[in-house]
Structure formats: structure tokens, C-alpha cells
Amino acid sequence: MYWKAVLIQKITEEEILATGIRSVAEDLRSRDGVLALILFGSAARNQQRPFSDIDLCIVTSGMVPEKEHLDLKSYGSHTIEIHLLDELPLAIRFRVVSEGKLVFCKDALALHRVVADTVRQYLDGAWFIDLHSRHAIGISR
């Protein structure tokens, strides 16, 4: 599982067309601070239903200021949900890097570091601590 997670599968041109994410991907690719974009969830697993949304995860090259965060999230729509990898719970971050499909990447080495760190934290059991910490303070995600 570790090597599969580190080597994220690249999305195909047909999948880009089918999901309708081309314009969002092109806009995000031109943004400073955006390192990579990953399709995940039912669309990445080819298990979409008629009313499924499309989940895209933005990997940033560092902490994102609040204004920039809101600006990046504004790329979402009623059919496309935008997430920032750093803000997701560890268990979801692991699913993004292990099951997701890479839409684009500006720096493969930097992305590899992010993915390897996510996998290491998850396999070290940090997901369990994260889950119980969130439960203890009343966050359900």
C-alpha cells in the first residue's frame, strides 16, 4: 500500500473531459502556491452516481493565508467540491493520496514529500489520535 500511495496515478484526458474539471485545473495550475491538484472520491474510483459531486484536493506549497484559502475554495461549484489537503483529517488525506488521481503537479519532489509524510503519519497511527482528538472536542469529520 505504501508504494501505491507514493506513486499517485495520473488522471487520463478522458477523465478530465468526463468530469468537466479542465477550466478549474487550468486556473489552479496558474496560481502561485498551488503545488498539485488531485481528483479523489467516487469520481476517482469510477463509482459516480447521477448526483455525485466531484472532489478535488489542492496541495499547497505551504500555509495558505485566510484570504487565499477563500479564493481557492471559490473554484468550487454545485458539482465540484474543493478541499485543501492540509485542512483534511489525516484519514481523508491518506485516502486522497492512496486512491486519488493526479490532475497536475508543478513539483514532483515536493509532492512526493507531502505524500510520503502523509503516509508515514497515517501508518504511525496518527489517524487514530486525530480521530479521537476531533471526537473529544466535538468535530465529527
Structure confidence at residue 88 as a pLDDT band (50, 70, 90): very high
CB 87 within 8 A of CB 59: no
Domain boundaries, the chain: 8-136
Provide DSSP, 76-122: --SSEEEEEGGGS-HHHHHHHHHH-EEEEES-HHHHHHHHHHHHHHH
- The Cα–Cα gap between 127 and 19 comes to 30
Q: Does residue 4 register a pLDDT over 50?
A: no
Which pTM value belongs to this model? 0.80
Query: Is CATH 3.40.50.170 what the domain over 8-136 is classified as, yes or no?
Result: no
**For residue 37, which amino acid is it?**
L
What pLDDT, on a 0 to 100 scale, did the predictor assign at position 5?
A: 44
DSSP 11: P
Which one, of 98, 88, 100, 114, lies nearest residue 40 by Cα? 100
